[in-house]
Homo-oligomer: A and B are copies of this chain.
Amino acid sequence: MSNALPLGPGAEFDAIRSMLERWGPRASGVGDDAAVLGLPRGESLVASVDTAVENRHFVRGWLTTRELARRAVVAALSDLAAMAATPAGVLISLIVPDAWRDELLGLADGVGDAVRDAGTYIIGGNISAGDELSITTTVLGHVYVPLARSGAHVGDRLYVTGRLGGPADALFRLRDGRDAGPHRDRFARPVARIAEARWLAERGASAAIDISDGLAADARHVAAASGVRLVLDSPDIPCVSDVPAELALASGEEYELLVASPVALDAAEFEARFGIPLTPIGIVEHGSDVVVRGARVAAPSGHDHFSR
């Protein structure tokens, strides 16, 4: 890949240069007014943007700088996974307060980790001063047939990847002033299920969403978009150890996938391939909204970052 063009002088460009140096060949074509890239013929472009804001989406000190930057980028990449798209590149816009200026290379390393794990590149970005740290990631990808939220039909089976509840458990402990506990890694180092999503789409899945607001809340988005009811069986929800289904249902920032499929999916093959479970957790019915069967409490509503 061609690397960055020479940039002019100035503090902003010094900051960009130091990050580009850190990224090496993972940064591609940065330095012109815009990035240029080709997409495979016949495939559609897929694009999404996500922002992580200090003290709204993360708290300084709960994770390393590298981890929190990695998480921010994984959250955006997870939206590509939810469409079964292949990443083509990311653009990163940072707002960096003075108090974080010495952490610039840690931020760069976290972005680099996420991008490398997804097999993609940093193709553009922007850096500004400001009063609070934010990381805005635009992800670009390509796909032949996208997996939409609107593709669930009555009679479809519902599956979820991985085991849920880790991030909620870790966050619960951190907010309580304790350490992150046994599920720290699930919170600190999430993975965008990109290869998993393509596998699921190739084998017949018809709808998907990534679990960023919690299984119950995201299931509602699928129900609304597809005009159906999603019925989840609480006892079937795959949970990390010592976390009850009720917490797992509300656990956001999982970046696992909820998929609907008209055909049965081979969970054993999936687990052999990816090392995480694929669990049948319910069905799609006529109606609207989400019903959780066998839960001891009402379906929680998930996390809403924009609530007053």
Q: Which residues of A are interface residues toward B (Cβ below 8 A)?
A: 5-12, 15, 31-39, 41, 44-51, 53, 55-57, 79-80, 82-83, 85, 88-89, 91-93, 95, 98, 101, 123-132, 134, 136, 138-141, 143, 146, 148-150, 208-210, 217, 220-221, 223-225, 227, 301-302, 304-308
Contacts and interface: CB of A to CB of B under 8 A. Distances in A.
Contact of A134 (B34, B134, B138): B134
Given A79-B33, A80-B34, A127-B306, A48 B91 contact: yes
Closest 5 CB pairs of A and B: A12-B306, A34-B48, A33-B82, A138-B138, A33-B79
Most buried by B among A123, A150, A304: A304
- Specify the main secondary structure of chain A where it touches its partner: mixed
Given A8-B221, A93-B93, 18 more contacts: A5-B149, A6-B227, A8-B223, A8-B224, A10-B304, A11-B304, A11-B308, A32-B150, A34-B83, A35-B48, A36-B45, A36-B146, A49-B124, A51-B136, A53-B129, A56-B130, A128-B306, A140-B140
A76 to B, nearest CB: 9
Copies of this chain assembled into the complex? 2
A132 B130 contact: yes
Contacts of A139: 34
Contacts of A34: 46-48, 79-80, 82-83, 85, 139, 141, 146
